[in-house]
Each structure stands twice: as C-alpha cells, then as structure tokens.
Chain A
Amino acid sequence: MNTLYVARNTAIAARALGEETMVMSAADSTLFTLDEIASVIWDAADGTTPLEEIVASRICAQYDVAPEVALKDAEALVENLADRGIMVISDQPLAHPGR
C-alpha cells in the first residue's frame, strides 16, 4: 500500500476514558470505543504523520509486535474507521480533515 495519512474526523465527538477512547458519530448517534492500541493511533492521527511512522514510533516502540504485522493491522483499523466516518484517510497529507 502507498504511504497513508490519517486524521481524526473533526465532526466526531471523542474522549479518552482510561486506556480507551469513546467516540460518538453525530451522523447516526453510534457510540464506539477504541481499545488501547487503536487509541494510540487515534491520538497520533494528525493528518500529516504517515501511518507507517505512527506504527513504528508509537506501536512497535511500546508493544512486542512485528512492524509488518502491526502496519497491516493498523491499515485495516483505519480503513474500518474511515468507512464509519470516524477517520479520514488519504495518500496525501491532510491539513484540514473533513467534516
């Protein structure tokens, strides 16, 4: 996969609760929770840092996981979150994540 940039959708409500993150999509009032590792990616999703770099610096540095496995899982996660309108993904840096 090409370099992937991820950003939090600014239309989403979110708050850390312990190690997890609560996320509410106003569009359909659906409540989600992101687990500890998904929360790490969520926190780092600034739209300008490539996902590969987030995985290397924030996931592989803290958790005992092979980089290629972690990246594959992270890509599946952000695509899932993008499908639900929670995250925005692009092959270009995202300065202004959409609403």
Chain B
Amino acid sequence: MSGLMAEMAAKALQHNIPLGVQLDLTYRCNERCIHCYLDHDDHGEMSTAEIKDVLDQMAGAGVFFLTLSGGEILMRRDFFEILEHARARTFCIKLKTNGVLIRRKEAERIRALGVESVQISVYSHRPEVHDAITKMPGSFRQSIEAARLLRSVGLHVTFANVLMNQNAEDYRGVRALANEVGAQCTLDPTITPMMDGDRSILSLNVDQEALRQVFRDGGLVGNVEEFCAAPPKVGEDDLDSLPCSAGHTSCYVSPYGDVYPCVQFPLPCGNLRQSKFADIWKESPQFKEVRSIHLRDMPSCSQCAHGATCTRCPGLAYLEGNMRGPSFQDCQKSYARTGIPSENFKRRNASAQPSPSLKLVQIQGLPPAKVAESSVVGA
C-alpha cells in the first residue's frame, strides 16, 4: 500500500468511513469454474432502480473504491446503465469479469466511462487447462481476446490467477502471457469454501510443497530470504492491530442486498431492502463485533509466533467456526513460507496424532457391540 493510500485508509478508519465496497451485481455466470464459491441461480437480484439507489447511498456514505463483480457482471442487461450511474457518482471503479462477453464496443464503452481497471480471471496459459477449470470450451481464447481489446483502448488490465491442483505448474506461463498482453498479474493460492459453508472445493487447494515452492519464487515474492524469514517477535502494537480492512474500512454487498464484512466473510450484517447502507455500516451489531476484534483478544493467535506477520483472514476463520480464532489455511501459508508451525498448526498436529496409550484405551473400552448398545439406549 502506498504512503498516501495508507494515510487515506487510516483517516477512513478514524472517521468510520467505508472506503471500499465490492458490489456483486449478479451470481449468474456463463462459466462454471470448478473452484467457484457461488450458487449461480438467481434468487431475487436487486433491480436496476434498487442498485442505483444503493450506489447513491454508498456515495453519500463516503465509499470511494467500488468493485463491480459477480458472477459475470455482463450477464446483467442493465450493466452499462448501472456503470454509467456509478461513474456519475464519481466512484473509482474496478471491474471483475471473465471477459467472455467483451467485444470492441463494450471495451470502448468501459474506457469512455472512466473505469480505473479491469480484472480478468485467467487460470492458465494453456487453453485446455483454463477451459477445463471454467468448464466452458473456448473461454480462454475469449478472455485473452477481451484482455487485448481492453488494453488496446487504454485500460489497465489485471489477470487474476487462482492457484489450484489443476494449474499449479502454470502460474509462470500466466505471468508471461500477462506481460505479453501488457497486463498486471496477481496470484491467489487460496481456494475458499462456498458461501453456504460447503467445504468440498477445498480439496482443490495446492499442497504444502507447492505452496512452499511458490513462496520461494523470487519472480513472485521479490526477496525470498526476506519474504520467508522467521517472523519478528510480536510486539504490543501488533497485539492491538486489526486483522484486515473487512468491516473496518470496507465491506461486501451481494446481488440480493445482503451486506457482509467481505466477500470471503459471509457474516450477515443487514439487508439493503430493509435498512439504509449507512445505518447498517454504523449500527449493525455484527459490524461492531467484527470491529471489536484485535489480535490481543484471540486466544490462539495472540500466542503465535506469526502474530505480527500472519495474513490471517477473519472470514476464513469465521467459516471454520470462530471469527476470533485462527484460519487454518493461513496457518498453512505461514508454515509453507517460513517452515515455522503456528500455534494452531501445532495443536492440530498434536490432536491428530493421539498418544499410543490413549489409542489402546479406546480399542479396549469401545468395542463395536458396546457402541451399538449405547446408541440404542441413548435413542
């Protein structure tokens, strides 16, 4: 984060202003990505008028950075009407799209409306790998064509590359392709649970060894020695630090008007069909609870060696059952990066390997017949 950006974020925090919002316009999508966390059926999206009203409210509340995402944003026929309205409210706008529906006309209109940047999901430089992940034949060609078109009209483009078992070897190829197209590239090594809590897609996550290799790629992380260094001692300032911007200076709004701290933090804080955006932001007990959490209050994380440098996601922790607890996926990342296990990691490993004597007691004390008998009695 630049110095000026950090200064603005600090000021927004001080004034309780939601500096950034991701607004998903739809969950409908023309791709069916194997790692997607969304239910693509339409369960009652906000209308054009409702979204315009929400945008007006957000502008009034001080929102500056607006990310329009989905689903696929261009699945909405009123997308450009919404975008035009948002720009008239002088938001700084970033679009997240797969680009499949972007032709020259759309690219030129996006440019003319003063969009700051467009993020396109690119999973591989190999068409067959990308298309197998999106489950849409031809999607690679269409996404890359869209990226080239957007660049040709002068827009900033970023490739979002989500790392999973299926494309673990391809991130260098994606970066090279981004370079050739004139795009930036981001790499996200975390597959998150579905918003309904279903964790089955977590099996797509790359393993520890693949993570370890990614974190030791100087082309990605810069100074490897520095990036993978043992964490510094946790200080008093660290204990008072906030986990991330979710709920503090940013939030997420679903196509149904539900407000959450973040797209990865599905703690319902209110609904815009029932309450005003500013009221939810300022008064929601859930937002207040999120804002009350500091590292000092987290039983496990406050004792952890990684406390000062951990990228702990409170949303992932919430999805694991406790927003004040650790996020095991981030513990895994800290371990892959430094080779030093987190407190949570150590406890998990310890509980996963019970002592031989305990195992022996279990075998002796709980024979199958007795378990069955107990069950019957209990019922």
Contact = CB atoms under 8 A, between A and B. Distances in A.
B114 A17 contact: no
A76 interface: no
B64 A11 contact: no
Interface in A1-43: 10-18, 20, 22, 24, 26-27, 29, 31, 33
A31 B65 CA distance: 11
Nearest to A17: B11
A11 B92 CA distance: 10
Given A13-B92, A17-B15, A29-B156, A22 B116 contact: no
A33 B114 contact: no
A18 B15 contact: yes
Contacts of A27: 154
Given A14-B90, A17-B62, A29 B116 contact: yes
A11 B114 contact: yes
Contacts of A29: 116-117, 156
A29 B112 CA distance: 15
B115 A26 contact: yes
A96 interface: no
Contacts of A17: 8, 11-12, 15, 17, 19, 62, 64
A9 B6 CA distance: 25
A12 to B, nearest CB: 7
A33 B312 CA distance: 31
B91 interface: yes
A54 to B, nearest CB: 19
A99 interface: yes
Contact of B8 (A11, A12, A22, A99): A22
Given A29-B156, A31-B2, A15 B116 contact: no
A74 to B, nearest CB: 22
Given A22-B8, A24-B92, A33-B4, A15 B62 contact: yes
Contact of B112 (A20, A22, A31, A99): A99
B150 interface: no
Nearest to A11: B114
B112 A13 contact: no
A85 to B, nearest CB: 11
Given A26-B116, A31-B5, A15 B63 contact: yes
A13 B114 contact: yes
Contacts of B19: 17
B178 interface: no
Nearest to A32: B4
A93 B7 CA distance: 36
B93 interface: yes
Interface string B52-70: 0000000100111000000
Contacts of B59: 15
A18 B11 contact: yes
A99 B109 CA distance: 13
A10 to B, nearest CB: 8
Instruction: Output the residue of A14, A16, A22, A24 with the most chain B CB within 10 A.
Output: A22
Contacts of B115: 26
Interface string B95-130: 000000000000000001011110000000000000
Contacts of A15: 59, 62-64, 90-92
Contacts of A16: 62
A14 B250 CA distance: 17
Interface of A: 10-18, 20, 22, 24, 26-27, 29, 31, 33, 99
Given A17-B8, A33-B4, 20 more contacts: A11-B114, A13-B93, A13-B114, A14-B90, A15-B62, A15-B63, A15-B91, A17-B15, A17-B17, A17-B19, A17-B62, A20-B11, A24-B64, A26-B115, A29-B156, A31-B2, A31-B5, A31-B8, A99-B112, A99-B114
18 contacts: A12-B114, A13-B90, A13-B91, A14-B90, A15-B63, A15-B90, A15-B91, A17-B19, A17-B64, A18-B11, A22-B8, A24-B92, A26-B92, A26-B114, A26-B115, A26-B116, A31-B4, A33-B8
